[in-house]
Amino acid sequence: MLKNLVLIALVIVVSACGSKKSAVATSKESKSIRLGKNEVLTYESLGNGVASIAIRFYENNTFKFNFKSIPQPGTDNKTIKISEKGTYTADGNWRILEFKKPKFSLAAIFDPQFASASDYQVIDAERVKINASKNTLPIWGVVCEKQ
């Protein structure tokens, strides 16, 4: 998991070089997406000492993904913040999330080492398929519960 944290931090640092903007990783394309008014599904992390994670799905087939790491005591790790919006399509119980040029690695966050293929599958650098019939999803090794 430390390897993944370092990978995410590296992606954020590299993408932020030369920029004085917010420390939250958000793509320009993500900012242009208008979220719906009503949430239809939410997965949110339970209390833990690793990260705060939430995926909120809206009625207009948009979603918002929020991630905030919790640096471990005794380390020099910085807090990593990711806030991305995107669109999704439904395929039975599955939701295919499409991130618009994310500033982080989907494979690092949706790590198959912490889940089974029946939980989610990373399709490519911008898309991940999530099984919305699950009551919990282990995202980045953190249990996220359906609300």
pTM as predicted: 0.78
Residue scoring higher pLDDT (125 or 4): 125
Alpha helices in 51-97 (DSSP H): none
3-state helix, strand, coil in the chain (%, to 5): 20, 40, 40
Cβ(30)–Cβ(100) under 8 Å? Answer: yes
**Residues forming a β-bridge with 131:** 94
Condensed to tens digits (0 to 9), the pLDDT of residues 59-113 reads 999 999 999 999 888 888 899 999 999 999 999 999 999 999 998 999 999 998 9
Tokens of 129: 């398929």
